[in-house]
Structure 1
Amino acid sequence: MSSRLRVAVIGAGYWGPNLARNFRASHDWELAAICDLDRERAQRVADGVGGVPVTRSLDDVLSDPSIHAVAIATPARTHHPIALAALQAGKHVMVEKPLADERVRGAEMVELARDRSLVLMADHTYCYTPAVLKIHDLIAEGFLGEILFVDSVRINLGLIQPDVDVFWDLAPHDLSIMDFVLPGGLNASTVAAHGADPLRTGKSCIGYLAMPLEGGAIAHVHVNWLSPTKIRQMVIGGTKRTLVWDDLNPQQRVSVYDRGVDLVLQSKETADARASRISYRLGDTWAPALEEREALAEVAAEFAASIREKRNARTGGEAGLRVLSVLDAATCSLAAGGAPWLVDAHTVNEGALR
């Protein structure tokens, strides 16, 4: 498949214009259509990228044999029915986060894509940023050592969403990053979620997630729609070094600290053995040089490459499903007053594309 692929963007709201712009600029793609129930809104997006056909009819898009793929940027509750219809029509599918509004629906999407030998890709955009790609490589090569903790903060004075709480709106970003950079992916066994709704909106506007990881490590996520300050930061501590990712600092998005705690094995006869085994390491700080490029361009390129090479995408449906598993467990924990809730560890094998 050497010629450009043709894609339609479904949804012209917040994220759709970004997808349309990047598909239009891509050498891999031809932007075939913008589809939205609000035709005027779709037309504004089409005009903004130099003009492409617009339609209110999803059926028209899915019945067009010249369209190879769709990119879904609609409310989370609609991802499942739109994706199923597209897969049944033989289209490759990319879905913005979260993959679906329930894990069971996400699993159905993954299974159908596997059965039809089609690409189902989760648009986990942060996993395609130079900073997160660098973090992935550093952890993979053992530069941080064994992971001890992950502490993530994503807060801002943000838009209170009408259909999801703050966990489902903001936490997928952090969970998808953890799934991408941690060895073995997002392998939390339980989740404890605490949320607050001080504005009485009917949904959590402030939230905290705590997840034990393999090997005694722990991950913590703080999300908040009500903070007057904006913070997007993740701290990943290892036995060798600690890494800090600050997405709002373009001059130094990633910093690596050769600082931490060393455990020194000593004789059991040593007085006050527990205290004597701990020493503190104070070393240098290093910031890797990172190329600045738009992550969505890399998302579009990966979507095309996975279709052409008949392989699963780097952030395929299974990655989206692992994130959904944590979000589902968080919802149950929240309803149970913050009690730890088991994460559904059942996986759906995407299988090899044929």
Structure 2
Amino acid sequence: MAVIGAGNWGKNHIRTLSGMDNVRLKSVCDIDEERLKRINENYPNIEITNDPKDIFKDSSIKGVVVASSSDAHFSLAKSALDNDKDVLVEKPLTLDSNSAEILIEKAEEGKRILMVGHLLIYHPAVKKIKELIKSGELGEIYYLYSQRINLGAIRRTESSLWSLGPHDISIALYLLEEVPNFVEAYGESYIQKDVNDVVFLNLHFPNRIIANIHISWLDPHKIRKLTIVGSKKMVVFDDMEAREKIKIYNKGVDSIDYNSFSEYISLRFGDVLIPKLEMYEPLKLEDAHFVECIQKRIKPITDGENGLKVIKILEEAEKSLRNK
């Protein structure tokens, strides 16, 4: 295995992959010599290079994690696929849908694994919510909303929409198993011209389901929260909570039809359930899944097509922002 990019996320992939028993992390590539120096100090058995071609031409390397800046995702992933490597690309897969389609086609033609780092799909809490929806415990899903806000980290090469949006968009697609039929977005750029610092994104799904996503890197609060409202129960996932990640609320509105009167409603206030979760680091689960896909030649949960769906929604959101 090899990792290209030893920045914020790259160093985390290096940590997780180097700690796996069934994987040998052979090489790390980065253009920043100081980063490579730190990697060499912390992981002396890992080869370091500032040229990704050293990784691409190494036939002993079967899988590559691309954790570079997003504007380099396409070229690096394409080169890896051209050299018969299986590839995990950090989100977003690319910065436009045409490039994503090229990577998907290349992976299919070469029978290579193409996986996208939609990290939160591997979060035990998100998997639990998926189980609750599939079992019908929440009832009919009415709407959901999420907040992913903080002060920083502000980027120059991508807006908050492209930096933070893939997390919550991918969660919505995963939980609802649908793609929206209408996308609208409102946002503004305050710090850098044409780089949105805050975005309010509305996704309209079939069956009248609405998903509202609030993303910002210019906010006094650090919030990572998802709320889903169903006809039977409601669930809240708060990723900032250390232990009580999920709370299931037995709350709702029960309609009562009286024959001689108009329809009445009854508000239901029940218990709050905090399910016990087997908590594992999502990145470890994601990287372990990538390794499993390589070894067993199976389709990733977050494959190239999944990444493409997210990118198409981001593109629609960008169009909406420009037209406001």
Kindly state the Cα deviation for residue 195 of structure 1 after the two structures are TM-superposed.
0.6
Q: Report what 1:249 is aligned to.
A: 241
Q: Report what 2:142 is aligned to.
A: 148
1:173 to 167, 178, 200: 167
Distance 1:320 1:293 in 2: 23
Q: Report what 2:232 is aligned to.
A: 240
Distance 1:197 1:12 in 2: 29
Kindly state the Cα deviation for residue 299 of structure 1 after the two structures are TM-superposed.
1.0
Distance 1:315 1:329 in 2: 20
Q: Report what 1:295 is aligned to.
A: 282
Question: Alpha carbon RMSD of aligned pairs, Å?
Answer: 1.4
> Against the structure 1 CA distance between its residues 199 and 40, is the aligned structure 2 distance closer, same or farther, given a 3 Å change threshold?
closer
> Against the structure 1 CA distance between its residues 33 and 257, is the aligned structure 2 distance closer, same or farther, given a 3 Å change threshold?
same
> Against the structure 1 CA distance between its residues 200 and 9, is the aligned structure 2 distance closer, same or farther, given a 3 Å change threshold?
closer
> Against the structure 1 CA distance between its residues 21 and 163, is the aligned structure 2 distance closer, same or farther, given a 3 Å change threshold?
same
8 Å Cα contact 2:203-2:210 kept in structure 1: yes
Kindly state the Cα deviation for residue 175 of structure 1 after the two structures are TM-superposed.
1.0
Distance 1:34 1:297 in 2: 18
Structure 1 gap ranges (5+):
1-6, 338-354
Q: Report what 1:278 is aligned to.
A: 265
Q: Report what 1:223 is aligned to.
A: 215
Partner AA of 1:168 in structure 2:
W
1:263 equivalenced with 2:286 (yes/no): no
Kindly state the Cα deviation for residue 168 of structure 1 after the two structures are TM-superposed.
0.6
Q: Report what 2:293 is aligned to.
A: 306
Distance 1:262 1:219 in 2: 23
1:301-336 deviations in whole A, cap 9, x for unaligned?
A: 101111222111111111111111110100011111
Q: Any idea what SS the aligned residue of 2:24 has?
A: strand
8 Å Cα contact 1:258-1:284 kept in structure 2: yes
Partner AA of 1:258 in structure 2:
N
8 Å Cα contact 2:156-2:195 kept in structure 1: no
Partner AA of 2:322 in structure 1:
A
Distance 1:175 1:28 in 2: 32
Partner AA of 2:315 in structure 1:
D
TM-score for the superposition, normalised by structure 1: 0.88
1:172-224 deviations in whole A, cap 9, x for unaligned?
A: 11111112222x24x11111110112335431101100111110110000011
8 Å Cα contact 1:34-1:46 kept in structure 2: no
Kindly state the Cα deviation for residue 60 of structure 1 after the two structures are TM-superposed.
1.2
Q: Any idea what SS the aligned residue of 2:27 has?
A: strand
Distance 2:86 2:264 in 1: 55
Q: Any idea what SS the aligned residue of 2:75 has?
A: helix
2:187 to 167, 191, 195: 195
8 Å Cα contact 2:87-2:114 kept in structure 1: yes
1:213 to 205, 215, 218: 205
Match runs of 1:40-59 below 5 Å: 40-59=34-53
Q: Report what 2:14 is aligned to.
A: 20
Kindly state the Cα deviation for residue 261 of structure 1 after the two structures are TM-superposed.
1.8
Kindly state the Cα deviation for residue 228 of structure 1 after the two structures are TM-superposed.
1.1
2:156 to 135, 150, 162: 162
8 Å Cα contact 2:249-2:271 kept in structure 1: yes
8 Å Cα contact 1:26-1:300 kept in structure 2: no
1:331 equivalenced with 2:318 (yes/no): yes
8 Å Cα contact 1:197-1:206 kept in structure 2: yes
Structure 2 gap ranges (5+):
none
Distance 2:191 2:287 in 1: 38
Match runs of 1:10-159 below 5 Å: 10-159=4-153
Q: Any idea what SS the aligned residue of 2:8 has?
A: coil
> Against the structure 1 CA distance between its residues 33 and 194, is the aligned structure 2 distance closer, same or farther, given a 3 Å change threshold?
same
> Against the structure 1 CA distance between its residues 237 and 39, is the aligned structure 2 distance closer, same or farther, given a 3 Å change threshold?
same
Partner AA of 1:238 in structure 2:
G
Distance 1:103 1:251 in 2: 38
1:154-177 deviations in whole A, cap 9, x for unaligned?
A: 110012101111111111111111
